[in-house]
Amino acid sequence: MHELFTDWYLTADPNASRDVIVKRWTAVYAAARALTTETSLSLAAFVVRPSLEVPVWFQDLLKSHDEVMRTRNIEAELRVLAAITIRLLVEPQEEAEEGEDEEDEIDPGVAIVASFALLSGSFGMPVPGWLSEHLQALASFLSSEGAEKRNLSGARRLETVTPASVNESLVHLGKRIDLAMEVNTYLWWFVTGYSGTMAAKYSSIVPSVAALAMSKDLSLLMETTPPLPEIETLLLHAVSLLKDGETAGLSLKSHIGALGKSAEDLLEVIPEACRLLCPLGWAVGASVREKAWISEFEKTFGFKAAATFSSQQIALQYFRELSFIRSLSSTNG
């Protein structure tokens, strides 16, 4: 059992017996291993969108591990367990549980998609303490995964010269070149200060629009997800150099309202499964359709469009949503 599981579950049931704790643990452990890309998205949406009902498969699985578990009036408990299930994707237990099939390992692609989904979907909403510690773990996972996928530290010395070892070195060399090219691309993007999406220099664009354009441009340069963690830092630095880039912030309504016709250039088609997890993408899309979007937005995403955000916060969120969509595409092939 994860050493923190009892503490996590305490939020929902402070007086849970040992028997109940073990049953809940067994259930979420099984749920984490059974997650697919599709089910992880529905689970993430359930955690962050209070209006949604629990995915049937999740409740059935919990019930199968505890036949006397209540079915109604336990929404908060189900949300806590759903978030724990996603957390377990990024902190798999080292020791196999009794009866575990060795093939039931966590799919790293699912872990990446689910992490993006929960981080992206929680933007703007009042986040309870029990959820914020999971979000921190997911952000940390994506950062380390982004670095790990490109981790080529250490010199590669051939101990023995064999076709296999030479091929391995060549593959390693190829990856180093890819990494250098990727970093080069990002740095050139930063130096030129030019938006390919908007066909204009960022300095000539309204700062709040430029922040979103930067996110879009960077996401188009990204070939592997999760992105290199330093790229988020580069994005924040670029936004901070915009005129008014470090101001306290505008309302979300103002950020989207400033887009005008640019919204169409910045629009990203959001897959249906992600719509409830991409608040900015949703708002940009609604702006393109020139729809009165505020009321529906607030009911859907649980925070007011009058809430203020800095350009850096908006840029990071949009970049994450776009990274999320890219990771979903690459997982689905």
Determine contact, residues 24/9, Cβ cutoff 8 Å: yes
Q: Is 201 helix (H, G, I), strand (E, B) or coil?
A: strand
Q: Is 66 in the site for another protein (CB under 8 A)?
A: no
Among 70, 160, 164, 191, binds another protein (CB under 8 A): 70
Least Cα distance to 251 among 296, 306, 203 occurs for: 306
Site string for another protein, 76-105 (x = CB under 8 A): xx----------------------------
Helix 129-148 / helix 75-90 crossing angle, nearest 10 deg: 20
Q: Is 317 in the site for another protein (CB under 8 A)?
A: yes
User: Nearer Cβ to another protein, position 261 or 299?
Assistant: 299
Q: Which residues pair with 251 in a beta bridge?
A: 308
Amino acid letter, residue 196? G
| Least distance from another protein to the Cβ atom of residue 6, Å | 10
Amino acid letter, residue 91? E
Least Cα distance to 28 among 61, 76, 74 occurs for: 61
CA distance 254 to 209: 10
Which helix (H) or strand (E) element contains residue 251? strand 250-251
To the nearest 5 percent, what fractions of the chain are helix, strand and coil?
A: 65, 0, 35
Neighbours of 310 (CB within 10 A): 21
Least Cα distance to 83 among 140, 127, 125, 51 occurs for: 127
Among 1, 55, 66, 75, binds another protein (CB under 8 A): 75
| Least distance from another protein to the Cβ atom of residue 109, Å | 20
Least Cα distance to 322 among 264, 274, 255, 265 occurs for: 274
Q: Is 31 helix (H, G, I), strand (E, B) or coil?
A: helix
- At 284, list the tokens: 């940009």
| Least distance from another protein to the Cβ atom of residue 75, Å | 6
Per CB under 8 A, the segment of 54-62, 215-223, 254-262, 293-301 that binds another protein is: 293-301
Among 5, 29, 46, 186, binds another protein (CB under 8 A): 186
Per CB under 8 A, the segment of 58-66, 98-106, 178-186, 213-221 that binds another protein is: 178-186
Among 128, 174, 196, 260, binds another protein (CB under 8 A): 128
Site string for another protein, 203-242 (x = CB under 8 A): -------------------------xxx-xxx-xx--x--
Look up residue 272 and give its DSSP letter: G
Among 64, 140, 203, 329, binds another protein (CB under 8 A): 140
| Least distance from another protein to the Cβ atom of residue 21, Å | 11
Q: Is 182 in the site for another protein (CB under 8 A)?
A: yes
Determine contact, residues 309/249, Cβ cutoff 8 Å: yes
Q: Is 114 in the site for another protein (CB under 8 A)?
A: no
Site string for another protein, 29-58 (x = CB under 8 A): ---------------------xx-------
Binding site for another protein (CB under 8 A): 7, 10-16, 50-51, 70, 73-77, 119, 122-129, 132, 135-136, 138-140, 142-144, 147, 150-153, 179, 182-183, 186-187, 228-230, 232-234, 236-237, 240, 246, 295, 298-299, 302-304, 310, 312-313, 316-317, 320
